[in-house]
Amino acid sequence: MPYEKLIQSYVDDQLGIDVNFISQELALSLNKRLVDVFNTHKMVQAGTGNKAAVHIDQLLRGDTIFWLDRTHENASENAFLDIIDAFVLHLNATCYAGITGYEFHFARYEEGSFYTKHFDRFEQNGDRAFSMITYLNPNWVLSDGGELCIHYPTTVTNIAPENCKCVFFKSDELEHEVLITNVPRLSITGWLKTNKIF
């Protein structure tokens, strides 16, 4: 069944992982799209906090981002968003998740950059229900670094940012960080959202 690995691993361990969430072909196309967006200077420095109070500090977060949008009329972006649409329908139908929207962006970490430990849900706004990260790093090896470090109450788990892999977890449950990367690290990061507002 589609998405079974992602959902079942989340149920088992608070952390859903599917090593083949997208195809190699789509991952290559998305990688090329991200590189093109970067090379044409369309990516911007990411910050922390919500839109009302964004704080940019590369000692906290070092990635640059570009938001995916169907109005771009880009085939690879739309193909990825088609997968997300289908996943949301499945999640709502089988798990009663109540997802009403989402937002996703490309993220690029340069050599030596990182993202310090944090939760993904804003204190003033509870609409981010689940976090999803899909990696676009062909031929990743251990020495490349840039692992996603998940902080459980008593242990930590490092997730390799390998090509086509997707990670899925509740935005307010797992504190996490991006460890220092030794090569450019590419991904699509986003959130499945509800209408819950604090």
How many structural domains are present in the chain?
1
Nearest to 148 by CA among 105, 187, 110, 102: 187
| Span 18-74, pLDDT tens digits | 999 999 999 999 999 999 999 999 999 986 555 555 544 566 788 999 999 999 999
106-150 pLDDT, tens digit each: 999 999 999 999 998 766 667 899 999 999 999 999 999 999 999
Asked whether residue 42 is domain-assigned, the answer is yes
- Domain boundaries, position 66: 4-193
- Whether 145 maps to a domain, the answer reads yes
Q: Assess if residue 63 is contained within a domain.
A: yes
CATH value at residue 95: 2.60.120.620
Q: Between these two residues, 58 and 195, which has the higher pLDDT value? A: 195
**Does any domain span residue 33?**
yes
Residue at 68 is within a domain: yes
The answer to whether residue 198 is domain-embedded is no
pLDDT of residue 2: 74
Residues in the chain: 198
pLDDT of residue 164: 98
pTM as predicted: 0.91
Contact partners, residue 73, CB within 8 Å, separation at least 6: none
Does any domain span residue 121? yes
C-alpha–C-alpha distance, residues 63 and 107, integer Å: 6
